């Protein structure tokens, strides 16, 4: 009988509308009373606490969360210390403002130009000052210094740059190319490697010009002409390439024969310099003699003019001047006393006396 009496409550529990085997899970159910569902064996099930603690602990946690929200601006809940929606909104607006300011306004220095591209394609060029464009990545600005003089050194003391001259001689040459940018948009987009192109054009132009001059001109007085011709030739080629570059000048730093024959060429050069020095000295002496002869001829012409005006006086004056030049160089004997032999070879007497005195010593 006890077994049969326990089957009834079990059947009612299985076919009831309760959500679980222990009855409805509604929180509004009374915790005690006649309507409380029983367990499968007729006993009353025990309920778990859902409050997570005592009412005092729950109120303390609520106060802590509320104070945290009030401290960080209030509004929608969240974890303690998390920023409010207004703070996040202002932070996002600040980042957007800085992005627009730094990518839309550009300060171009006086010696620079700003090349603007629109999605990678050239758009326009900014002049010095403050320029405004669309923000990145719609517009990109690349600043190019157009006033800086760049230098490209070709050839050095460690490596030989040998070239053939017009008289079939070999020369080792080193030079420097000075250039700057004229059109930055052409410099950036017209040539794939503008610096390498300038190097190759400089070497080609130098070889073409050196091939038309002699060795003496290349290592001597013809350097200035070679530099000018190379500058003009390079500018013509680069303008044809639309490179946007201006060649400011060429400076030859070294122009010597190859190392193997350099010492011999130095000796030849020294001999040529000595020969030229002797030639210059001979020319100077010749010029001096010519000027002296011309002066004497001019003086004779003046004397002749005076002689034509007064022949006797001029003749006597010329006699006196001639004697003044001759008599100091001649031995003289002057006899004024009466009874003295008109001719007395005093020089011979003096020589004899000197010889005798020398023999006696």
**Average confidence (pLDDT) over 71-87:** 57
Contacts of 319 (CB under 8 A, 6+ apart): none
The Cα 38–Cα 8 span in angstroms is 12
What's the CA gap between 353 and 361, in Å, rounded?
13
Task: Assess whether pLDDT exceeds 60 at residue 138.
Answer: yes
Residue 47: pLDDT over 70: no
Structure tokens at 355: 């010889």
Is the confidence at residue 340, as pLDDT, over 90? no
Residue 157: pLDDT band with limits 50, 70, 90: low
CB atoms within 10 A of CB 347: 11
Banded model confidence at residue 65, pLDDT cuts 50, 70, 90: low
Domains, in order of start, for the chain: 106-144 (no CATH), 150-257 (3.30.479.30)
Separation CA 251–CA 247 (nearest Å): 12
φ, ψ for residue 106 (rounded to 5)? -135, 130
Q: How sure is the predictor about 14, in pLDDT bands with cuts at 50, 70 and 90?
A: very low
- pLDDT band of 205, cuts 50, 70, 90: very high
Q: Which residues are within 8 A (CB) of 189 and not within 5 positions of it... i.e. 6 or more apart?
A: 122
């Amino acid at each position: 009988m006890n077994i049969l009496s326990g089957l009834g409550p079990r059947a009612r529990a299985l076919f009831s509308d309760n959500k679980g085997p222990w009855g409805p899970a509604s929180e509004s159910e009374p915790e005690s009373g006649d309507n409380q569902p029983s367990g499968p064996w007729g006993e009353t099930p025990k309920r778990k606490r859902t409050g997570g603690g005592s009412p005092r602990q729950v109120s303390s946690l609520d106060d802590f969360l509320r104070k945290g929200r009030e401290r960080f601006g209030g509004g929608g809940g969240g974890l303690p210390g998390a920023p409010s929606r207004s703070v996040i909104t202002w932070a996002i607006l600040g980042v957007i403002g800085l992005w627009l300011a730094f990518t839309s306004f550009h300060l171009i220095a006086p010696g620079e130009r700003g090349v603007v591209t629109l999605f990678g394609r050239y758009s326009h060029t900014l002049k010095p000052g403050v320029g405004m464009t669309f923000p990145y990545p719609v517009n990109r600005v690349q600043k190019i210094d157009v006033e800086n003089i760049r230098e490209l050194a070709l050839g050095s003391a460690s490596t030989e740059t040998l070239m053939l001259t017009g008289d079939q001689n070999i020369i080792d040459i080193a030079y420097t190319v000075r250039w700057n940018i004229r059109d930055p948009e052409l410099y950036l987009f017209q040539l794939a490697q503008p610096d390498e192109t300038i190097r190759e054009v400089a070497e080609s132009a130098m070889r073409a010009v050196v091939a038309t001059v002699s060795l003496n001109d290349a290592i001597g007085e013809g350097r200035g002409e070679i530099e000018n011709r190379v500058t003009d030739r390079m500018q013509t080629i680069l303008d044809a390439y639309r490179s946007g570059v201006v060649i400011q000048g060429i400076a030859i730093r070294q122009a010597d024969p190859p190392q193997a024959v350099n010492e011999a060429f130095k000796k030849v050069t020294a001999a040529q310099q000595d020969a030229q020095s002797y030639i210059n000295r001979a020319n100077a002496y010749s010029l001096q003699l010519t000027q002296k002869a011309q002066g004497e001829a001019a003086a004779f012409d003046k004397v002749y003019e005076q002689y034509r005006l007064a022949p006797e006086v001029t003749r006597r004056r010329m006699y006196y001047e001639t004697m003044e030049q001759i008599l100091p160089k001649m031995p003289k004997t002057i006899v004024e006393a009466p009874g003295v032999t008109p001719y007395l070879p005093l020089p011979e007497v003096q020589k004899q006396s000197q010889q005798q005195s020398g023999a006696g010593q």
